[in-house]
Amino acid sequence: MRHSIDTDVFRQTAHSPSFFELSRRMGDGARDLVDFCIPCNPYFPTPEMFAELADNLEAVLKFYPSDSSRIAGQLSSVLGFNPATIAMSNGSTELITWLDHLWVRESIAVPIPTFGRWTDQPMETGKRVDMFLLQESEGFGLDVDTYIKFIRSRGSRVAVLCNPNNPDGGYLPRREVIRFMDELSDLDLVVIDESFIDFVEIERSPSVAAEASIRPNVLVLKSLGKNFGLHGVRFGYCVANPALARKMAAALPKWNLNSLAEAVVFMFQEHAESYAASLVKLSMDRYRMSMELGRVPDLEVFPSQANFLLVKLPNEVSGGEMRDHLLNKHQVFVRECSNKLGLSGQFLRLVVRPEADVERLVSGMRSYFKSPWEVERPTLVS
């Protein structure tokens, strides 16, 4: 039996409600819920990894984890980084919070639209946020030179660049990101948020983490939860030169990572090939999903190198109404973007999912378009 949900839940927070919150409100209807909202990897961890975690669940939940430096050491050995250049955290949001407290004294430049914590966190602590508006007419692309001029004109002391960007998935070539870092070597800090960098296929080695580790004022932020499809575990890390990494690590609580995060980090090396295969599958899904959405009349689909697609609905369509229709009629959960700075309620961010799920999404969208437009549209009399 399907249950309608009180849509007030979407107005209670600046972000979308959690899957658990929706599940509790939907009751039995949550069993069929397909999540196009939370950007995770549907192919990783593998069923074998989940089975291994389940076998060890009692120990994982019962005993204290190692301290974060031990877990960071294991991660650095797997990724090939100097352990002195890594600090691990309980999710990327923890890093953004401490970054604001440690380095943002007066002002920070942030392109919008982007991940909301980059603007919300410094505003909550009374900093000036210099918002650089990305233009829809340019596909929300970021021009490095124009952004640098904006930073200089505003006198911003910290600058953020998300690559790929959230929510549009726009990607800057690696050489442009390196040029951006070097042009701003006099700033207090330059942050490159690479939370979705593993999903990039257009460039073989897109990350600038190695370059950040030898620069005086650059910090690269990573999110393992998004890449691994494990948002509930809450773990991320940053890469910077040893002095910056040490400063971040010293501010973070010593026991800030849980035992489940430790278990996954120590499993990763054995399953690295499965992870690489999951990224290939996801990239194929992104292509197919973009093509399918592109066949929906009057729907604009923006190019993406992340694991989500930004789409713009026709002028006559409310994103909130579309979200509610998909949720209540088709058990499909999407991210409506009216509360994202730089966007409006005409935009949806749709997570890349396997073909069968996309068919359900597209079918639901077409049914919404058909009902109010084709059935109720008045006939013109000549």
pLDDT band at 98 (very low <50, low <70, confident <90, very high): very high
Q: Which region holds residue 107: left if phi is over 0, alpha if psi is between -120 and 50, else beta?
A: beta
Q: Which two tokens stand for residue 257?
A: 């990572």
Q: Which one, of 222, 158, 215, lies nearest residue 190 by Cα?
A: 158
Give yes or no for residue 379 having a pLDDT over 50. Answer: no
- Hey, which CATH number is domain 7-45+273-371, 1.25.40.10, 1.10.1370.40, 3.90.1150.10, 3.50.50.60? 3.90.1150.10
Can you give the pLDDT at residue 69? 87
Give yes or no for residue 382 having a pLDDT over 60. Answer: no
> Tens digit of pLDDT for each residue in 6-54?
555 555 455 566 666 766 666 665 678 999 999 889 999 999 999 999 9
Can you give the pLDDT at residue 294? 96
Rounded mean pLDDT, 334-362 = 96
Rounded mean pLDDT, 371-379 = 44
Q: What percent of the chain shows pLDDT beyond 90?
A: 80
Give yes or no for residue 367 having a pLDDT over 60. Answer: yes
Give the C-alpha separation, 264 to 46, whole Å.
12
Can you give the pLDDT at residue 15? 57
- Dihedral over Cα of 89, 94, 100, 101: its sign: negative
Report yes or no: 224 and 236 within 8 Å, Cβ to Cβ: yes
Give yes or no for residue 172 having a pLDDT over 70. Answer: yes
- Hey, which CATH number is domain 64-269, 3.40.640.10, 3.40.630.40, 3.40.50.970, 2.30.30.100? 3.40.640.10
For residue 263, CA distances in Å to 47, 75, 136, 154 come to 15, 11, 42, 45
For residue 137, CA distances in Å to 133, 140, 142, 149, 342 come to 12, 7, 12, 20, 13
Quote the mean pLDDT of the chain: 90
Residues 6 or more apart from 191 whose CB is under 8 A from it?
99, 158, 159, 160, 161, 218, 219, 220, 221
Rounded mean pLDDT, 185-211 = 97
Q: Is the pLDDT higher at 110 or at 72? A: 110
pLDDT band at 225 (very low <50, low <70, confident <90, very high): confident
Can you give the pLDDT at residue 199? 97
Amino acid at 150: F
Can you give the pLDDT at residue 196? 96
Can you give the pLDDT at residue 227? 82
Can you give the pLDDT at residue 22? 66
Can you give the pLDDT at residue 30? 65
> Tens digit of pLDDT for each residue in 40-95?
899 999 999 999 999 999 999 999 999 888 999 999 999 999 999 999 999 899 99
- Quick check: do 7-45+273-371 and 64-269 share a fold? no
pLDDT band at 163 (very low <50, low <70, confident <90, very high): very high
The pTM (predicted TM-score) of the whole model is: 0.90
pLDDT band at 314 (very low <50, low <70, confident <90, very high): very high
Residues 6 or more apart from 16 whose CB is under 8 A from it?
10, 37, 38, 333, 335
pLDDT band at 375 (very low <50, low <70, confident <90, very high): very low
Give the C-alpha separation, 353 to 351, whole Å.
6
Ordered DSSP codes for 264-287:
HHHHHGGGHHHHHHHHHHHHHHHH
Can you give the pLDDT at residue 370? 79
Can you give the pLDDT at residue 117? 96
Residues 6 or more apart from 371 whose CB is under 8 A from it?
none
> Tens digit of pLDDT for each residue in 254-298?
888 999 999 999 999 999 999 999 999 999 999 999 999 999 999
pLDDT band at 253 (very low <50, low <70, confident <90, very high): confident
